[in-house]
Amino acid sequence: MINRRNALQGMAAGVGAAVGSSLFPASATAMVPFKAPTAPKRIIFFMQNQGFHPDTCIPKGLTSGSLAKVKLPEPIEALEPFKERLHIINGLHGTHTTPSHSAFFGALGGYRGGDGVPPSASTIDYELSKALPQTLLPHLCIGMDSIENMTTKPTLATLSASGAGQPIFMHSNPNHLYQMLYGGISTGDIRLQHEARSNVMDQIEMLAASKGQSLPTADLQRYNQYVQGFKDVNGLRDRLDTVADHLSQFAPKVDERYTNPEFETDWHDVLLDLGISSLKSGITNTLTIGSGRGEIFGAWKGLGVDQQGHNLGHMDQPDNPIWIKIRQYNIRMLVKIMEELDSVPEGSGTMMDHTLIVYTSNNADKQHTSGANWPVMLLGNFDGTFKTGCFTQLDGKRPINAFYATLLRAAGQNVDHFNMNDQLAKKFDDGVGPVKELLV
């Protein structure tokens, strides 16, 4: 006999995939009216797994200074036309995160992480989503992997968190994400699927809310997370419905890449389109992209790369044709984001003028790393806050936490440290406050 708890958990897994309190940040449940902020800013984190080796991004012979008269390395050469908006940073560290195969939540949290280890605090992307002007969905996470992994685990939480023990799930099935964002303004089968899913979600929320009170205390807390998760999903759907006319201008066109992808990169591409559309429409102002989803897997057969997963991490990245292809693919994605945001006027400039893209890895510089060097690339200047068109070599004495504190300062939050108490800061951070070399 199937008991009530198992039945509801099964429905939660099949319909909501990963609803719970961690599908959306806590601030996503607020009823935020749609309006263009007076001082818009937005941020995008692009996290590639298996490491980001500095030789794949730092021009040869350059020790620090302007990028104007140097040629970018082959893996990032697509950024040549955008060099004046690029800032390459080398010499941050994350030794305290013990990354090895991945720092998981620690990569964006700046704390010790590990496979299967829950987050010990919120991550920088979530904290920035609270600091920036509020939107209908303050924080959207998308994850790219093999077709098999994205299909069997359409949501996965490894990189972002809203607090200790509160992971935020990445969306990896573009069909599910499209229905969530644009199902209410669609027609045909997509609309029918959206309505059917919505009806089921409404019924489960009502059933779950009324039937769980007899559970033991320990089970009741978990049960209530499911209930809250359905409320969050249904609440977001209702809020999106109120701005349907506005959203219809930004919904991507659904084609065979959604329903019949030839390669996993087809899903990667349409997930990126959905992320960009969520920024352009104003649904969100914080986007986190996990290529490899923060784990040791990942596949790029659409690029002609037959190898996948952990084996890729054991290949040297510099001058490696496989990693050149993967990195170039990443960079084309970054260029697409920039071009799309540049196409939208905003204030006296464009959306990209008020945006910052942070490109790095959840694995520091390489697979099996100590985290002693954590390269980062920035694109954009966050409304004139960050230096651009340059390479900055740091001395290895400031942690990624100091960089995250710099981001918070740029967003108007006066913090000296991020996720570091005085004891940790004394051991791992040689300074206080932002990394001044990065700011205008």
CA dihedral 413, 419, 425, 431 (to 10 degrees): -30
Residue 172, exposed/middle/buried by CB under 10 A (0-12, 13-18, 19+)?
buried
Given a contact cutoff of 8 angstroms between Cβ atoms, the answer to whether 43 and 284 are in contact is no
Q: Is the pLDDT of residue 29 over 90?
A: no
- For tokens 């490899």, what's the residue? 292
Instruction: Provide φ and ψ at 118, rounded to 5°.
Output: -65, 160
| pLDDT over 70 (residue 244) | yes
Distance CA 223, CA 19 (A): 11
**What is the residue whose two structure tokens read 């080796």?**
53
Half-sphere exposure of residue 75: CA atoms within 13 angstroms, side-chain side: 22
Query: Is pLDDT above 50 for 3?
Result: no
Mean pLDDT score, 360-386: 96
Pairing of strands 355-361, 376-379: antiparallel
Q: What percent of the chain has pLDDT over 70?
A: 79
A 10 A CB-CB count for 432 gives: 10
In DSSP terms, 90 is beta-bridged to 393
The class level of CATH for 23-171+258-438 reads alpha beta
Per residue in 76-101, pLDDT (tens digit) is 999 999 999 999 999 999 999 999 88
* Tokens linked to 331: 């960079």
Dist. CA 382–CA 379, nearest whole Å? 9
Residues in the chain: 440
Render pLDDT for 320-341 as a digit per residue (tens, 0 to 9).
Answer: 999 999 999 999 999 999 999 9
Which has the closest alpha carbon to 250: 274, 231, 266? 274
What's 386's DSSP letter? Answer: B
The first and second tokens of residue 280, run together, are 């352009």
Task: Give me the half-sphere count of Cα atoms (radius 13 Å) on the Cβ side of residue 214.
Answer: 5
Mean pLDDT of all residues in 342-369: 95
pLDDT value, residue 329: 98
Stated pTM of the model? 0.86
Rounded Cα distance between 252 and 276, Å, is: 9
Residue 154 token pair: 């359409």
Q: Which segment of 4-18, 39-53, 322-336 scores lowest on mean pLDDT?
A: 4-18
Interacting residues of 90 by C-beta distance below 8 A, sequence separation 6+: 54, 58, 373, 375, 391, 392, 393, 394
Structural domain boundaries in the chain? 23-171+258-438
- Contact (Cβ atoms closer than 8 angstroms) between residue 303 and residue 265: yes
Angstrom distance (rounded) from CA 392 to CA 376? 10
When the pLDDT of each residue in the chain is averaged and rounded to a whole number, the result is 86
